[in-house]
A and B are shown apart, each in its own frame.
Chain A
Amino acid sequence: GAGVSQSPSNKVTEKGKDVELRCDPISGHTALYWYRQSLGQGLEFLIYFQGNSAPDKSGLPSDRFSAERTGGSVSTLTIQRTQQEDSAVYLCASSPGQGRTEAFFGQGTRLTVV
């Protein structure tokens, strides 16, 4: 597609349930990021995939969070046993390379845990 696509755009889930958020990056982009945006918290880095390298998971807030990227393209962010503090907008971005290249963002998934 023309841009980064995220689905669903909105997700309401009950506390304790698992959720999966999907990101389709721009074709050919080797780098993929997940960020979490909460009110007053800015963009919190979660995880970074770059080509075939091991992902940088240093931003994942707990072991309830995990992400994978299949075939160097689509990525899924999974949150297990969701808590109310997980409520936020989850943003995905992709980039043609690392370091100096621009990141292109999706519209995000708004997750609400009730």
Chain B
Amino acid sequence: AQSVTQLDSQVPVFEEAPVELRCNYSSSVSVYLFWYVQYPNQGLQLLLKYLSGSTLVKGINGFEAEFNKSQTSFHLRKPSVHISDTAEYFCAVSRLTDKLIFGTGTRLQVFP
């Protein structure tokens, strides 16, 4: 079965600094990878996804992620964060005929 590990439960960062949120997955077969975001008191929404093709995926709000098969990673990055990026970020994995499994989440706190 597939699984997801988010190594950092909290990431504090100052506004306009770069940020990387780490995600590693385990699966014996090809996977699809997703990042979802949950803003305070809101539901989850999709940030970006990797299905196939280019390993660098761009999403909403200036975020991007890179699929690295050899390291089984799908880290999320943004070159310059804003206060409004403060939220919980979830990495998720699925396989062709299987359910969507989430990591434990990373709380990004952006300080002025």
Asked if A and B bind, the verdict is yes
Report B81-98 CB contacts with A as 1/0, cut-off 8 Å: 000000000101011111
Q: Which residues of A contact B (CB under 8 A)?
A: 33, 35, 40-43, 45, 48, 56, 91, 93, 95, 98-100, 102-103, 105-108
Question: Contacts A99-B32, A100-B32, A100-B51: A42 and B96 contacting too (C-beta < 8 A)?
Answer: no
Q: Across the interface, which residues of B come within 8 angstroms of A42, CB to CB? A: 6, 90, 102-105
Q: Across the interface, which residues of B come within 8 angstroms of A41, CB to CB? A: 104
B44 touches A105 (CB 8 A): yes
A45 touches B49 (CB 8 A): no
A105 touches B43 (CB 8 A): yes
Q: Which residues of B contact A (CB under 8 A)?
A: 6, 9, 32, 34, 36, 42-46, 49, 51, 90, 92, 94-105
Q: A99-B95, A100-B32 are in contact. List 20 more A-B contacts (CB 8 A).
A: A40-B104, A41-B104, A42-B90, A42-B103, A43-B90, A43-B105, A91-B44, A93-B44, A93-B100, A98-B94, A99-B97, A99-B98, A100-B49, A100-B51, A102-B34, A102-B49, A103-B100, A105-B36, A105-B44, A106-B43
Question: Contacts A35-B102, A107-B43: A99 and B96 contacting too (C-beta < 8 A)?
Answer: yes
Give the residue name and chain of the A residue nearest to B90 (CB): A43
B105 touches A102 (CB 8 A): no
Q: Across the interface, which residues of B come within 8 angstroms of A106, CB to CB? A: 43
Q: Across the interface, which residues of B come within 8 angstroms of A56, CB to CB? A: 99
Q: Across the interface, which residues of A come within 8 angstroms of B105, CB to CB? A: 42-43
User: How many Å lie between the Cα of A5 and that of B6 in the bound state?
Assistant: 29
Q: Across the interface, which residues of B come within 8 angstroms of A33, CB to CB? A: 99-100
Show 23 A/B contacts (Cβ-Cβ < 8 Å), sorted by A: A40-B104, A42-B6, A43-B44, A43-B105, A45-B99, A56-B99, A91-B43, A93-B44, A95-B100, A98-B97, A98-B98, A99-B95, A99-B98, A100-B32, A100-B51, A100-B96, A102-B34, A105-B36, A105-B43, A105-B44, A105-B45, A106-B43, A107-B43
